[in-house]
Structure 1
Amino acid sequence: MKSPALLPSALIGAVASARSMTPMAALAGAHLAGRETPGRLVLLGHPVFTAGALAMGVGELFGDKMKSAPDRTVFLGLLARVMSAGIAGAALAPKGREKAGGLLAIATATPLAYATLAGRKRVMRRIGQTKSGLIEDALVVSAGVAVVAWALNRRG
């Protein structure tokens, strides 16, 4: 059974809902490994942006554990999710369907940011900010890498 063509775009949007920089970092890693995306990879074709995406992905993982870290639903947090999801969703969409893939990723990331925040806060009350963040990191980073790997391997 063949999965819908834009499913990777929706899934990477879900990843962006929890970690805004993970989709770009996963794509940057794939780019460094010489993998090509089905859709046009905006910005990450340039080495400075590739390095920046990886650095921001790692930085976000550390910053999330700080007591002063803002909620992911503040304006700048949502803006980062929209931008990252849009670029990654477009890159993982089939050639010629980049706009639809980007829009679908954004439409997935934005409302899920509120849902993932609510879930994180619930877990944070039980086990604390650092532990809940590390668990979320493991799940989200694994999901981001898996979605990108799956999307790049399913191209035909």
Structure 2
Amino acid sequence: MRISDLLPSVLIGAVASARSMTPMAALAGAHLAHRRTPGRLWLLGKPLFTAGALAMGAGELYGDKMKSAPDRTVFLGLLARVMSAGIAGAALAPRGRERAGAAVAVGTAVPMAYLTLSARKRAMAEIGQTRSGLIEDALIVAAGVAVVWWGVARDR
């Protein structure tokens, strides 16, 4: 296996650093489009998981704009990133390398959560919470969709 085989897992970890539920929502969207992930992810076969992932992804986008939204680096925020990155990283890894995919995704998501938070705080100071959040949403959702679609296309 080449290290580049785990690149989709690394990239989805970067996505999870900024929006914890976007990787799961992007995977759910790919599942609804009848795309299979290279790594095994039995959760995707469950309609409740798919619906929940999409709902949580949308809810996170809304909740992030609230003044009371906690920083992504609080314990529960990091825990959500670890779980989402791990699941998505495993799903985008080559079959049989799911654990490695999960590990590199989590290893990317956690430190990058601090970097993306720092960037967001700078953007908030410049253009405000809502506008900076909407821009971050657009970038991260687009990146999440692109990474998942590229990851599932590589398996074909």
Q: TM-score range by the shorter chain?
A: over 0.9
- Partner in structure 2 of residue 74 of structure 1: 74
Alignment of 1:5-84 (within 5 A): 5-84=5-84
Partner of 1:125: 125
> Structure 1 stretches of 5 or more lacking a match?
none
TM-score (structure 2 length as normaliser): 0.97
Distance in 1 (CA, whole Å) between partners of 2:136 and 2:123 is 10
The runs of at least 4 consecutive aligned structure 1 residues that moved more than 2 Å come to none
Distance across 2 between alignment mates of 1:134 and 1:84: 21
What is the identity, as a one-letter code, of the residue corresponding to 1:30? A
Q: CA shift at 1:42, angstroms? A: 3.9
| Cα distance in 1 for residues equivalent to 2:112 and 2:42 | 24
Work out the CA distance in 2 between the residues paired with 1:63 and 1:93.
30
Question: Is the alpha carbon distance of 1:155 and 1:38 closer, same or farther for their aligned partners in structure 2, counting shifts above 3 Å?
Answer: same
Higher helix residue share: 2
For 1:64 and 1:42, the matched residues in 2 are separated by: 29
Residue by residue, what CA displacement relative to the aligned partner does 1:9-55 show, whole Å, maximum 9, x if unpaired?
00000000000000000000000111100001142220001000000
Query: In 2, distance between residues paired with 1:81 and 1:154?
Result: 24
1:6 alignment partner, SS class = helix
User: What per-residue deviation string (whole Å, max 9, x for no partner) do you get for residues 91-140 of structure 1?
Assistant: 00000000000000000000000000000000100100000000000000
2:136 is aligned with 1:147: no
Q: Structure 2 CA distance, aligned partners of 1:42 and 1:99?
A: 14
Do the aligned partners of 1:42 and 1:91 also contact (CA within 8 Å) in 2? Answer: no
Give me the whole-angstrom Cα distance separating, in 2, the residues matched to 1:58 and 1:126. Answer: 25
Structure 2's unaligned 5+ residue stretches are none
Aligned-partner Cα distance in 2 for 1:59–1:44: 19
RMSD, matched Cα: 1.1
Bigger shift: residues 42-51 or 109-118: 42-51
Q: For residue 13 of structure 2, what is the amino acid of its counterpart?
A: G
Percentage of identical aligned residues: 77
* Residue identity opposite 1:136 in structure 2: E
